[in-house]
């Protein structure tokens, strides 16, 4: 099986103490794999989690960043700041930020461009809102608008996370074979649109230890973005150890 990327999005969960405890116990109980493992804690926990994983092959990502390096943007954190402390990845365009904070593709595009300029690898989240609205063209539109003006030499640092919004936190995931087809369609779109044939595509949405292997075994799915199941140490170890 090809090397996969498994990303944990803790969202607004785990205090600093709980984040440190999880990270230390993950190292104690984790059998190293060839897969890429990325942990995305809350911003106030990133620095401490980074120190714990510093001598391991586990990477750390952020759940968001701003589109400028510095300025009068109260409460925001820049990609420059994240890169300086050792963060490698950043999640952008997550449906929860689109829904609750009204983030648009234009805003996400600005964040992507700035993140890439600051040498962060971007995890771009896209996906249809309802199970009935599965028009692949709407996904292509989101990708096109989010990746506007991104230079071709930066596509190696972009992961497209296909997350059907209706599946996030619902306990109902998409059929792995259908997710594989959509990921393949995304890869073909990027190849035709941008002349780049190696874009990484991963799946997210109600993943757990029982179904994750079925997604990881799909040939066109390069990894998974795990939400709720990544908060439970035993569940997450089962997922990454498969």
Active site residues: 94, 163
The backbone region for 169, taken as left when phi is positive above 0, alpha when psi lies in -120 to 50, beta otherwise, is left
Q: Which residues of 108-137 are buried (b: 16+ CB within 10 A; e: fewer)?
A: bbbbbbbbbebebbbbbbbbbeeeeebeee
Pairing of strands 200-204, 121-126: unpaired
Question: Distance between CA 149 and CA 204 in Å, rounded?
Answer: 26
Beta-bridged to residue 91, according to DSSP, are 123
């Amino acid at each position: 099986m090809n090397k996969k990327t498994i990303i944990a999005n803790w969202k607004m969960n785990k205090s600093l103490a709980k984040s440190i405890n999880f990270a230390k116990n993950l190292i104690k109980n984790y059998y190293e794999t060839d897969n890429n493992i990325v942990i995305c804690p809350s911003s106030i926990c990133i620095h401490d989690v980074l120190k714990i994983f510093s001598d391991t092959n586990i990477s750390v990502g952020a759940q968001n960043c701003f589109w400028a390096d510095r300025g009068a943007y109260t409460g925001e954190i820049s990609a420059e700041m994240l890169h300086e402390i050792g963060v490698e990845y950043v999640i952008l365009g997550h449906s929860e930020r689109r829904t609750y904070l009204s983030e648009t593709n234009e805003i996400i595009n600005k964040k992507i461009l700035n993140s890439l300029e600051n040498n962060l690898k971007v995890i771009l989240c896209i996906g249809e809102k309802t199970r009935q609205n599965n028009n692949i063209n709407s996904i292509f539109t989101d990708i096109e608008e989010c990746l506007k003006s991104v230079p071709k030499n930066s596509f190696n640092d972009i992961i497209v996370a296909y997350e059907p919004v209706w599946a996030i936190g619902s306990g109902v995931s998409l059929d792995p074979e259908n997710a594989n087809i959509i990921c393949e369609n995304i890869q073909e779109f990027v190849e035709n649109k941008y002349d780049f044939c190696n874009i990484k595509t991963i799946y997210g949405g109600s993943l757990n230890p029982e179904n994750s292997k079925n997604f990881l075994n799909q040939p066109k799915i390069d990894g998974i973005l795990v939400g709720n199941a990544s908060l439970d140490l035993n569940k997450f170890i089962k997922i990454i150890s498969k």
